[in-house]
Amino acid sequence: MRTLVVYESIYGNTRQLAEAIADGCRQAGDASAIRLAEANPGSFADLGLLVLGAPTHAWGLSRAGTRKAAVANPAKGSPPAEAAADQPGMRELLAELPRLECPGAAFDTRLKAPGWLTGHAAHGIAHRLRQHGVQVLGRPESFFVTKQNQLRAGELERARAWGVELTERRARLAGSHH
C-alpha cells in the first residue's frame, strides 16, 4: 500500500508532523511526505492512503493573505519561515483535486485552545476530501503549537502513533472489502 502525506507548512511544524506520520505509516509499506508545492493531484489515483495536513490560519485553511501575513509578521520567537509567502496552499490543492477512490485522513496544526476559538484547518480538509470521493478514516486530527510557532512537547510522537493507527484503520477497511 502506497501512502502519501502532503503538507503545507510555513514554519516547519506541519512538515515535521507529516514526516512523523509518514514514518508511522511505513509499517504497512511505502510511505512518503512531500511539500504541497511538489504534489501532483493527478498522481493520487493509485494511492492506498492520502493524508493531507496544513496549519490553521484565521479559523480554517490558509489563504494567500494569511500566508503573507504569517511570513511578514511572525510571532516573537518563531523559527524562520520555510515557505515563500506567494506559494499556493492546501485550499488551492483541494480545489484541483480529481475524484479519488482511496481512503484519506486530515490533520492540522493549531494553538492548544478550544476549537471554537482557534478553528480547525483539518475539518475543512476532511470536508473537501469527502466531496472528492475520499473515505476519511476517523476524525480529523489536530497537533498543537505554542504561541511562538514551536511544536509542543510530545506532538511528534503522537503524530507517529497516529500514522500507525491510520495504517491499521486502512488495513481493516481493506479487509472488510474482501
Residue 153 sits in a domain of what CATH number?
Answer: 3.40.50.360
Separation CA 50–CA 151 (nearest Å): 23
Q: Are 66 and 138 in contact (CB under 8 A)?
A: no
* Percentage of residues in the chain having pLDDT higher than 70: 98
The 10s digit of each residue's pLDDT in 50-82 is 999 999 998 888 888 888 888 888 888 888 888
Q: Is 131 exposed, middle or buried (0-12, 13-18, 19+ CB in 10 A)?
A: exposed
Q: 102: helix, coil or strand?
A: coil
Angstrom CA distances, 7 to 43, 130, 142, 173, stand at 16, 18, 14, 24
Q: Which structural domain range is residue 66 located in?
A: 3-176
User: What pLDDT, on a 0 to 100 scale, did the predictor assign at position 177?
Assistant: 58
Q: Which residue has the cell 493520487?
A: 44
Tell me, what's the pLDDT at 72?
Answer: 86
Taking the C-alpha atoms of residue 14 and residue 20, their distance in angstroms, rounded to an integer, is: 10
The span from the CA of 19 to the CA of 62, in Å, is 21
Number of domains comprising the chain: 1
Residue ranges in the chain modelled with pLDDT below 50: 178
Looking at residue 174, what is its pLDDT?
Answer: 79
Give pLDDT, residue 178: 46
Q: Would you state the pLDDT for residue 129?
A: 96
